Structure 1
Amino acid sequence: MSRYCSQCGKSLKACICEWIQSLTSNVELVILQHHSETNRPMGTARILNLSLNNSHCFTGEDFSAHPQLNQLLEDESYHHFVLYPGQGSLSHTEVANKLAEERKVRVILLDGTWKKAYKMWQLSTNLHALPLIHLPDDLQGNYRIRKAPSDNSLSTVEAGYHILSLLEPERDFSALIDAFNHMIEFQIQQMPPGVFDKNYRT
């Protein structure tokens, strides 16, 4: 008998499936996950992929020749954006205008540390021609059990939650954050007494 959940991939005692809710969105998310994130017990991309029926998750580092991703990018019925705070990136308001015109939108998320996400961006030349989109600067992350370069650094599921909520404010995506918070609390409870306070609290 496996010690891991066949659906979420986490150990049975850390299974998050009871908190996963099936969500509908007009915006499709495409998650490009760095291969080093695949088996991390605290990885959050899985929450997005399990919750959103129209999401896609691909693993690798250089996605330039990735056949499934390139097939999606060739679909001209969609507008594709990369959630990445580069020069000339668009605000969510500008992207929301596409939805207002009843045009299909896909948003690509890079799942990895800032250093790994940057390398994925550099290597994946098929993304370079796509417009970038950025989140508001004042958003605060709650990824308390992983070190972050700044207070407004977000986990992948938080980034997905915020971009969906901003582009589709009429829909409720809070179940994504609820599942994330349950996962965080479980991991904190597994730590020896004092470890979280010593290493993670500020």
Structure 2
Amino acid sequence: MNTVSNFSSCEEDDVLSDLGALPVEESERRPTCDRCTRPTSVCLCPYLPSERAQVSTNLYIIQHPHEEVRVLRTVPILDISLPQDKVHVIRGRRFNRHALLDKITSYPNTLLLFPGPGAVDLQSIPLDSYPSYNLILIDGTWPQARGIYSNNRFLHRPKQVKLSLNVVSEYVIRTQPTDAALSTLEAAAFALSVLENKPELIEILTKPLRALCDFQLEHGAVPHQSKEYLKKNGLCKKKIPSNQRKNEDDS
């Protein structure tokens, strides 16, 4: 027999009133590090540079809004590893008017790190042409990055550059489109090592990324192979029809 059905309406009101008076238990939050904002048990600070790495290059990172809500992002590592006035994160997909971006993309010392038919090898850029460079990167999945580039004509103004490297991304907890594709952090690290003529910046900036990946793998994450690798080895899952997929590039 259902005992609840034997309560009178007044008794029900009394029970509900008593329940409503009970203190609400707040879920216990894990303590986090003030510097890297990670839980203290997986703090990245031991792997970060003890002092911010000094660079003259100004980084302008155009970040797709979906990237901001991801837990395992790489841009925050750049933000706490480089001088605060050298890393500028600008979020959005389409910019009809943006005074800063409009100004920066008009300067002759501004470069856009984005592969394409017109992109030149970053190594070919003369370092003595200007006191410093502005470097624009697009942060997001490749479809999102292509959408941002296509939908914002001001991004077609700067000289377009690419990295010609024979390396595989160490960001193994996220699937890359090709074996040669790098995370935003890695791309920035390699580019800065060229523009600053400081090869050591690669290790300084990617060391915390490796630690981040190691922490995730220790807690059950599975290493990801690139889509290119999966296709070559017949490991791709059956393709989902386009009308069932979310259009990531918003183009």
TM-score in same-fold range (> 0.5): yes
What are the ranges of 5 or more consecutive residues in structure 1 without an aligned counterpart? none
Instruction: Report the residue type matching 2:135 in the other structure.
Output: V
SS across alignment from 1:196: coil
Quick check: 1:150 aligned with 2:182?
no
Verify: 1:89 aligned to 2:119, yes or no.
Answer: yes
* Residue 99 of structure 2 corresponds to residue 67 of structure 1: yes
CA distance in 2, matches of 1:26, 1:170: 11
- Whether 1:49 aligns to 2:75 is no
Residue identity in the other structure for 2:222: F
Choose 1 or 2 for highest CA Rg. Answer: 2
Aligned in 2, Cα 1:131/1:64: closer, same or farther, shift over 3 Å? farther
Residue 225 (structure 2) pairs with residue 196 (structure 1): no
* Alignment CA distance shift 1:41-1:15 (3 Å): farther
SS across alignment from 1:100: coil
Corresponding residue of 1:167: 195
Residue deviations 1:12-38 (CA, integer Å, cap 9, x gap): 544434432211112221111111111
AA of the residue aligned to 1:189:
E
CA deviation after TM superposition for structure 1 residue 151, in Å: 1.1
Q: In 1, are the aligned partners of 2:105 and 2:155 still within 8 Å (CA)?
A: no
CA distance in structure 1 between the aligned counterparts of 2:199 and 2:166, rounded to whole angstroms: 22
Q: Give the match for residue 118 of structure 1.
A: 146
8 Å Cα contact 2:104-2:134 kept in structure 1: no
The corresponding residue for 1:179 is 208
Which stretch has the larger CA shift, 177-186 or 9-18?
9-18
8 Å contact from structure 2 (residues 59, 88) kept in 1 = yes
Match of 1:141 among 153, 157, 169: 169
Moved more, 108-117 or 33-42: 33-42
Calculate the aligned-residue CA RMSD, in Å: 2.5
* Structure number with higher relative contact order (C-alpha < 8 Å, ≥ 6 residues apart): 1
Give, in angstroms, the shift of residue 136 of structure 1. 0.4
What is the DSSP-based 3-state SS (H/G/I as helix, E as strand, rest coil) of the residue aligned with 2:154?
helix
Q: In 2 relative to 1, CA 138–171 (structure 1 residues): closer, same or farther, beyond 3 Å?
A: closer
Q: Which residue among 108, 113, 117 is the counterpart of 2:136?
A: 108
**1:184 and 1:132 mapped to 2: Cα distance?**
30
Aligned pairs for 1:19-58 within 5 A: 19-21=47-49, 22-53=52-83, 54-58=86-90
TM-score normalized by the length of structure 2 = 0.68
Aligned AA for 2:90? Answer: F
Pairwise CA distance, 1:156: 0.6
Distance in 2, matches of 1:14 and 1:45, equals 18
Q: Distance in 2 between matches of 1:64 and 1:23?
A: 34
Unpaired runs of 5+ in structure 2? 1-27, 230-251
Q: TM-score w.r.t. structure 1 length?
A: 0.83
Q: 3-state SS of the aligned residue for 2:120?
A: coil
**Aligned-pair distance for 1:105?**
0.7
Q: Does 1:80 align with 2:110?
A: yes
- Change in Cα spacing, 1:69 to 1:6, as seen in structure 2 (3 Å) is farther
User: 1:200/1:13 Cα in 2 relative to 1: closer, same or farther (>3 Å)?
Assistant: farther
User: How many residues in Structure 1 have an aligned counterpart in Structure 2?
Assistant: 194
Q: For residues 153 and 10 of structure 1, what CA distance do their matches in structure 2 show?
A: 26
Paired with 1:103 and 1:64, the residues of 2 have a C-alpha distance of: 30
